[in-house]
Structure formats: structure tokens, C-alpha cells
């Protein structure tokens, strides 16, 4: 795969990079995206029945079971070449912040360390009733031992705020980076979908890697249509690994 010479130059010179990922990066690990027409989770399930506090209040068991199913799928999945390429990029590029909308934990399992999870993590739990300490949870029965309330997954549901620290870190990094990657995300869910614009308004080069066109595609500086698990390893190899080999 050949990348434009100007892009290679920009990446080699970049000091601060941000990579935003979405469900598409985990698709090659066998996990469903949300909005793909035939296979996306939101083509089979109604978000208002599964991903809102009101849905949980109505039927906690139903929601808990759905997240337990997704948690199992995530645990059975393995990080793919795209996740691994981003972990490799972190080791070789000067400063990379990985910002993910994914809750599956695959980036951490691939070795990424400098990252923020904007939408939480499906492997963690919270007490639904109040702010009870997490070391007193009966995970198996989905109950908080401190107050007897139900446990919910520690993910962001529709209508909820994103974790403040994670969002602030992501915004600051986007506004101060030289290069912003948008990878495997449909770029329609805010505030994540706005991060590339903050980067571009501050002079960054915006690169999209996605299987299908998105609202970002015509506005990005570079858009690569294809699988993240194929494009990212080729890019990391050409920009950083190949360069190191040449220097040695």
C-alpha cells in the first residue's frame, strides 16, 4: 500500500498525534458495530430498550443480560491487527493519545496505555442507585452489597454525560495535535464526532480510515476507505518501523 509522500512527511514530522477509534476497529475481531445496515447492533436492537437509564429502571435484568452477552463476546474476541498497530504506534510515535468510543477493552489488551475511554468500559460496573464503593459488588447477581441496589455497566447511555476527565483530556489533545486520525467510526455521535473539527480548526492534518464514507470523508485531508486492520499496520510500518530499520 502506498501513501502520499506529503502525508508520510507530515507524519514523520508530527509531534502530537491523536487517534479516535470507534466500533469499526473491533469489527475484524468479530464484534458488531452499531450502525452497519445488516450487522450493526442498532439494526437488531432498539437503543431505547437497552441503552438508557429509563430502560434499566423498567427492566434491569433484561439490560444486564444484554450487556453480559456483549461482555462475553468482548472477552472471547482477540485484538486484531488494527488494535496492535495503534499500540505499536504509541511506542514509536513521539506523543500519541488514543481516544476510544469503544467499551470492549480490546485496545488495552493490545497493549495501548496512553488512552481515554470516552464511553466507559463494559467490564466495569457501577451501582445504579447511588455512588457506592465498587469493591463491594456482587457481580454474579448484579447487586450492590452496600445498598442492595442493581449494578449497571459502567458505560455511557443515551442522554448521559461523558466522563468529564476523559472528555477534557480528549478535547485538549485534539486542540493541540498536529495529526488527528479518525478510525472506524461513523462520525455521527457527539461529542466524539466533533473532535476532528477541533483538531482541524487548530491546524491539524485530519486522516480518516474507514470501511465506508462518513460525514467526515469529504472534509478530511486524507481519507482511506478500507479495513483498519489492513491500512493501519501498513501505515505504521511505512512511517515508523521502516524508518527505524533505515536508520539502523
List contacts with ligand OAD (CB under 6 A): 22-24, 27-28, 33-36, 40, 51, 101, 119, 156, 184-186, 189, 210-212, 214, 227-229
Nearest distance from C-beta of residue 248 to ligand OAD, angstroms? 32
To the query of whether residue 83 is one of the catalytic residues in this protein, the response is: no
Closest among 120, 124, 240 to 179, alpha carbons compared:
240
Q: Which is nearer to ligand OAD, 28 or 90 (CB)?
A: 28
Nearest distance from C-beta of residue 146 to ligand OAD, angstroms? 26
Q: 181 and 18 in contact (C-beta within 8 Å)?
A: yes
Closest among 160, 159, 156, 136 to 148, alpha carbons compared:
136
Residue 50 burial class via C-beta count within 10 angstroms: exposed 0-12, middle 13-18, buried 19 and up:
buried
Q: Which is nearer to ligand OAD, 16 or 224 (CB)?
A: 224
Q: What angle do CA 151, 152, 157 make, to 5 degrees?
A: 165
Helix (H, G, I), strand (E, B) or coil at 193: helix
Q: Which is nearer to ligand OAD, 16 or 185 (CB)?
A: 185
Question: Of residues 107, 119, 150, 242, which has the active-site annotation?
Answer: 119
User: What values do phi and psi take at 227, rounded to 5?
Assistant: -85, 135
Nearest distance from C-beta of residue 31 to ligand OAD, angstroms? 10
Nearest distance from C-beta of residue 55 to ligand OAD, angstroms? 13
Q: Which is nearer to ligand OAD, 124 or 145 (CB)?
A: 124
Catalytic residues: 119
Amino acid at each position: 500500500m502506498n501513501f502520499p509522500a506529503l502525508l508520510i512527511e507530515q507524519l514523520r514530522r508530527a509531534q502530537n498525534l491523536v487517534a479516535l477509534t470507534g466500533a469499526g476497529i473491533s469489527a475484524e475481531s468479530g464484534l458488531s458495530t452499531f450502525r452497519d445496515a445488516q450487522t450493526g447492533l442498532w439494526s437488531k436492537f432498539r437503543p431505547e430498550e437497552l441503552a438508557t437509564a429509563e430502560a434499566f429502571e423498567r427492566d434491569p435484568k433484561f439490560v444486564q443480560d444484554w450487556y453480559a452477552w456483549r461482555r462475553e463476546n468482548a472477552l472471547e474476541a482477540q485484538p486484531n491487527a488494527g488494535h496492535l498497530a495503534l499500540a505499536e504506534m504509541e511506542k514509536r510515535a513521539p506523543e500519541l493519545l488514543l481516544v476510544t468510543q469503544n467499551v470492549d477493552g480490546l485496545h488495552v489488551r493490545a497493549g495501548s496505555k496512553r488512552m481515554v475511554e470516552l464511553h466507559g468500559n463494559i467490564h466495569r460496573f457501577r451501582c445504579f442507585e447511588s455512588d457506592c464503593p465498587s469493591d463491594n459488588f456482587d457481580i454474579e447477581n448484579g447487586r450492590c452489597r452496600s445498598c442492595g441496589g442493581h449494578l449497571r455497566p459502567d458505560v455511557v447511555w443515551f442522554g448521559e454525560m461523558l466522563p468529564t476527565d476523559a472528555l477534557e483530556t480528549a478535547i485538549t489533545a485534539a486542540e493541540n495535535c498536529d495529526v488527528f486520525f479518525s478510525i472506524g467510526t461513523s462520525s455521527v455521535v457527539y461529542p466524539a464526532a466533533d473532535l476532528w473539527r477541533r483538531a482541524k480548526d487548530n491546524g491539524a492534518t485530519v486522516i480518516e480510515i474507514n470501511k465506508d464514507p462518513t460525514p467526515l470523508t469529504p472534509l478530511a485531508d486524507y481519507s482511506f476507505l478500507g479495513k483498519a486492520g489492513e491500512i493501519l499496520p501498513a501505515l505504521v510500518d511505512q512511517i515508523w518501523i521502516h524508518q527505524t530499520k533505515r536508520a539502523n
